[in-house]
């Protein structure tokens, strides 16, 4: 592909968010003439090693005001880089941070963001991207139209991890000093607060039984708990269940909660919104019980049962109990 | 405190979706509609702020004729004013276009705060609120899970990955996009519903809300129902047989 691609790296201090590598891998698939990673930080130590052989150039935008993330400083800093590089695409990790600044940045160029892409399609007409609709129940093929630059955000975990990167040439490093308005900032963030975790560590569980909105009521959790006990599993949930406070948020699986990879993951009444899948697709064996055969959870499941959970789960409990007692 | 809340009418998340393969678009006329769930939390946040700090709440929607139901429902729940920007093609608009149309109407009045849901449950772009902030030149905090307001000092707690959060100080006027589940949206009482029927919804034709043509940057070429995983084992049949097979497989996986 001719032209320049920019990948916006997500760095907290010297730590690089893993979603950055999904964005880099996607950019590499497009085989760009010039692939530039842009890192905004106050401290760039170690970044050069990390990006060597993965991109052609690393642009380090350094300023004390970029030490902690803020859309108010990120947008003008990135705008400055985009204006000087004139890229065809700006590729952004679809993380909490990306979702916060990317729409503002795209709007500055009179563009919508092609958000939450899960795959890239290259055909005679050029490049298009797949993105989920209706919380993952449908998928759309979307193409950017009009003038460059185009803005796309990449769902973490969607691409093949980069397999060795770009061949040849040393990494060229460019240091940029951003110019900011003299106006005082209108937002100021405290240091992030880590969630207080329960004593149970779901990320170490061998087996997890997770319930979703389909469970219907808090009272029905009892059967899920019974099933979990029989399997020696921990009980977990998707977001709607924790929003209803039927289970504590410490047991929430998904992008806003925990990422787990147990040997066995039994999803009960979970439709499989992409945010949930992000937290569990790495599980060894995924079992899905759902009444809707088209639910996206079946796209990641190894074993699927299409049926009413209120019928299937009690029967399953009985089957497991009778075997144990028999 | 004057608060604007942007709300969208969407296809009900539980509606069975079918795609018209030739048109590359869902058969949208057929589906039941409801208010986008995240927007209900934004409305409730606005109503709570009004309850504790006085002021008024204006709800704004962009959509075809039927979308008036969404702002009527908001009036019944306690909103003071409603604006319906009538756009028969709203469903096919991209986020920047929607933001541009809404901003035209927001600019007519001074609002201290503009609230939106984090994203819609249909197209899920998750951009309109943040873009409204950019177009209005206002600061924003996205994915808000808690808000405090004392002596005009607004603090908003933002959700981050893996259960972490971060408090932000933000000056007024501003835009907040609201995460689902942060409060209990109140229901409309019978009295509210009756009263809302008589209330005036201001109708703004699309042509009035924007004069320049809306330029597009995205083209949705096709919609597909993604296939199930090819190597998934689908257990089917009567429940007793299914659970017997399933129990076997679960034991095998766990080595019981």
Given a cut of 90, whether residue B163 has pLDDT beyond it is no
Q: What pLDDT score does A165 carry?
A: 61
Which two three-digit tokens encode residue A47? 């970044």
Any chain B CB within 8 A of the CB of A255? yes
Q: What pLDDT score does B58 carry?
A: 98
CATH of A202-325, picked from 3.90.870.10, 3.90.340.10, 3.40.50.1220, 3.40.50.150, is 3.40.50.1220
Any chain B CB within 8 A of the CB of A257? yes
pLDDT-based confidence at A168, cuts 50/70/90?
low
- In DSSP terms, which residues pair with B4 in a beta bridge? B58, B114
Cross-chain residue pair B217–A144, CB shorter than 8 Å: yes
- In A127-146, the residues whose Cβ lies within 8 Å of chain B are 128, 132-146
Q: What is the CA radius of gyration of chain B?
A: 21
Which residues fall within 8 angstroms of residue A58, CB to CB, at 6 or more apart?
A36, A37, A38, A39, A47, A48, A51, A171, A172, A173, A174
Mean per-residue pLDDT of chain B: 91
Q: What pLDDT score does B211 carry?
A: 65
Given a cut of 60, whether residue A42 has pLDDT beyond it is yes
Within chain A, all domains assigned CATH 3.40.50.620 are found at 4-176
Any chain B CB within 8 A of the CB of A85? no
Given a cut of 60, whether residue A153 has pLDDT beyond it is yes
Distances (CA, A) of A75 to A80, A107, A178: 9, 10, 11
With contacts defined as CB-CB under 8 Å, which chain A residues touch B158? 100, 189
Cα angle vertex B253, ends B243, A295, to 5°? 60
Q: Which of B143, B229, B242 sits opposite A96 (nearest CB)?
A: B143
Within chain A, all domains assigned CATH 3.40.50.1220 are found at 202-325
Which two three-digit tokens encode residue B101? 């149309």
Q: What is the largest CA-CA distance in chain B?
A: 69
How many CA atoms, within 13 angstroms, populate the side-chain half-sphere of residue A180?
18
Rounded CA separation B182/B141 (Å): 15
Q: What is the CA radius of gyration of chain A?
A: 22
Q: Are A101 and A74 in contact (CB under 8 A)?
A: yes
Task: Give the containing element (helix H, strand E) for B143.
Answer: strand B140-150
Q: Which of A115, A145, A298 sits opposite B125 (nearest CB)?
A: A115
CB atoms within 10 A of CB A60: 20
Q: What pLDDT score does B24 carry?
A: 77
Q: What pLDDT score does A211 carry?
A: 96
pLDDT mean over B189-207: 90
**What CATH number does the domain located at A4-176 have?**
3.40.50.620
pLDDT mean over A107-115: 96
- For chain B, give the number of residues: 256
Q: What pLDDT score does A216 carry?
A: 92
pLDDT-based confidence at B185, cuts 50/70/90?
very high
Cross-chain residue pair B243–A110, CB shorter than 8 Å: no
What burial letters (b/e) apply to B172-190, b meaning 16+ CB within 10 Å? Answer: ebbbbbbbbbbbebbebee
Rounded CA separation B82/B85 (Å): 10
DSSP A221-289: HHHHHHHHHHHT-EEEE-HHHHHTTSS-GGGBBSTTSB----SEEEEES----HHHHHHHTT-SEEEEE
Rounded CA separation B197/B188 (Å): 12
Any chain B CB within 8 A of the CB of A202? no
Q: Which of B135, B143, B232 sits opposite A304 (nearest CB)?
A: B232
Rounded CA separation A37/A34 (Å): 10
With contacts defined as CB-CB under 8 Å, which chain A residues touch B232? 298, 301-304
Q: Are strands B140-150 and B153-159 parallel, antiparallel or unpaired?
A: antiparallel
With contacts defined as CB-CB under 8 Å, which chain A residues touch B146? none
Q: What pLDDT score does B26 carry?
A: 81
Q: Which of A113, A134, A264 sits opposite B122 (nearest CB)?
A: A134
Which residues fall within 8 angstroms of residue A9, CB to CB, at 6 or more apart?
A16, A17, A20, A23, A37, A38, A39, A40, A47, A51
Residue tagged 């730590």 (tokens): A15
Given a cut of 70, whether residue B85 has pLDDT beyond it is yes
pLDDT mean over A252-260: 84
Q: What pLDDT score does A282 carry?
A: 80
Q: What pLDDT score does A274 carry?
A: 82
Cross-chain residue pair B223–A138, CB shorter than 8 Å: yes
State pLDDT tens for residues A43-87: 777 888 889 889 999 999 999 999 999 999 999 999 999 999 999
Any chain A CB within 8 A of the CB of B200? no
Given a cut of 70, whether residue A326 has pLDDT beyond it is no
Q: What pLDDT score does A166 carry?
A: 63
pLDDT mean over B106-128: 95
Given a cut of 80, whether residue A157 has pLDDT beyond it is no
pLDDT mean over A275-295: 89
Q: What pLDDT score does B208 carry?
A: 84
In 3-state terms, what secondary structure has residue A293? coil
Task: Give me the interface pTM, i.e. the ipTM.
Answer: 0.89
pLDDT-based confidence at A8, cuts 50/70/90?
very high
Given a cut of 60, whether residue B68 has pLDDT beyond it is yes
Mean per-residue pLDDT of chain A: 89
- Identify the weakest region by mean pLDDT among A250-264, B19-33, B173-187: B19-33
Pick B49 or A165 by higher pLDDT.
B49
Burial of A26: CB neighbours in 10 Å, binned 0-12, 13-18, 19+ = buried
Q: What pLDDT score does B48 carry?
A: 97
With contacts defined as CB-CB under 8 Å, which chain A residues touch B145? none
Given a cut of 60, whether residue A316 has pLDDT beyond it is yes
Handedness of CA B154, A254, B31, A139 (dihedral sign): positive
Torsion, CA A51, CA A52, CA A53, CA A57, rounded to 10: 80
Cross-chain residue pair A189–B11, CB shorter than 8 Å: no
pLDDT mean over B149-174: 92
CB atoms within 10 A of CB A65: 15
Any chain A CB within 8 A of the CB of B185? no
Task: Evaluate if pTM is beyond 0.80.
Answer: yes
Cross-chain residue pair B235–A305, CB shorter than 8 Å: yes
pLDDT-based confidence at B27, cuts 50/70/90?
confident
With contacts defined as CB-CB under 8 Å, which chain A residues touch B239? 307, 311-312, 315
- In B12-71, the residues whose Cβ lies within 8 Å of chain A are 13, 16-17, 19, 26
Give percent of chain B above pLDDT 90: 64
């Amino acid at each position: 592909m001719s032209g320049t691609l920019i990948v916006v790296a997500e760095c907290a201090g010297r730590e690089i968010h893993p979603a950055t590598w999904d964005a880099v891998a996607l950019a590499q698939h497009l085989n760009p003439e010039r692939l530039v990673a842009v890192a905004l930080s106050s401290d760039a130590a170690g970044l050069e090693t990390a990006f060597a052989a993965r991109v052609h150039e690393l642009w380090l935008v350094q300023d004390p005001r970029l030490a902690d993330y803020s859309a108010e400083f990120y947008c003008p800093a990135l705008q400055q880089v985009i204006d000087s590089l004139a890229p065809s695409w700006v590729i952004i990790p679809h993380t909490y941070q990306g979702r916060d600044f990317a729409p503002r940045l795209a709007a500055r160029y009179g563009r919508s963001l092609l958000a939450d892409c899960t795959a890239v399609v290259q055909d005679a007409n050029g490049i298009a991207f797949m993105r989920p609709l209706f919380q993952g129940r449908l998928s759309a093929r979307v193409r950017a139209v009009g003038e460059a630059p185009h803005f796309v955000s990449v769902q973490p975990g969607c691409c093949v991890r980069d397999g060795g990167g770009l061949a040849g040439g040393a990494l060229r490093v460019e240091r940029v000093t951003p110019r900011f308005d003299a106006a005082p900032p209108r937002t100021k963030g405290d240091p992030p607060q880590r969630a207080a975790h329960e004593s149970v560590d779901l990320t170490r569980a061998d087996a997890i039984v997770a319930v979703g909105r389909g469970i219907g009521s808090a009272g029905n959790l009892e059967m899920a708990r019974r099933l979990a006990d029989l399997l020696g599993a921990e009980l977990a949930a998707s977001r709607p269940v924790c929003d209803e406070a039927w289970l504590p948020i410490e047991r929430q699986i998904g992008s806003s909660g925990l990422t787990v990879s147990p040997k066995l993951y039994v999803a009960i009444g979970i439709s499989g919104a992409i945010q949930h899948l992000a937290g569990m697709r790495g599980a060894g064996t995924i079992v899905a019980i759902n009444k809707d055969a088209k639910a996206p959870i079946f796209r990641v499941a190894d074993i699927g049962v299409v049926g009413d959970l209120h019928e299937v789960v009690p029967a399953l409990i009985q089957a497991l109990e009778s075997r144990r007692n028999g | 405190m004057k608060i604007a809340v942007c709300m969208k009418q969407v296809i009900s998340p539980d509606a069975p979706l079918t795609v018209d393969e030739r048109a590359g678009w869902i058969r949208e006329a057929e589906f039941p509609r409801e208010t986008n769930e995240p927007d209900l939390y934004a409305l409730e946040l606005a109503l709570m702020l009004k309850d504790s700090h006085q002021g008024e709440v204006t709800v704004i929607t962009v959509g075809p004729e039927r979308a008036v139901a969404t702002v009527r429902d908001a009036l019944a729940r306690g909103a003071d004013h409603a604006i319906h920007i009538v756009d028969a093609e709203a469903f096919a608009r991209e986020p920047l276009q929607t933001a541009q149309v809404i901003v035209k109407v927001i600019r007519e009045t001074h609002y201290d705060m503009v609230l939106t849901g984090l994203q819609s449950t249909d197209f899920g772009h998750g951009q309109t609120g943040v873009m409204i902030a950019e177009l209005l030149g206002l600061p924003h905090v996205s994915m808000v899970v808690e808000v405090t307001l004392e002596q005009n000092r607004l603090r908003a707690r933002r959700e981050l990955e893996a259960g972490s959060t971060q408090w932000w100080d933000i000056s007024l006027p501003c835009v907040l996009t609201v995460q689902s589940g942060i409060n209990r949206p109140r229901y409309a009482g019978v009295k509210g519903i009756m009263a809302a029927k008589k209330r005036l919804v201001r109708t703004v034709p699309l042509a009035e809300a924007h004069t320049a043509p809306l330029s597009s940057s995205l083209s949705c070429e096709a919609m597909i129902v993604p296939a199930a995983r090819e190597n998934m084992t689908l257990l089917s049949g009567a429940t007793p047989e299914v659970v017997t097979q399933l129990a076997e497989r679960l034991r095998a996986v766990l080595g019981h």
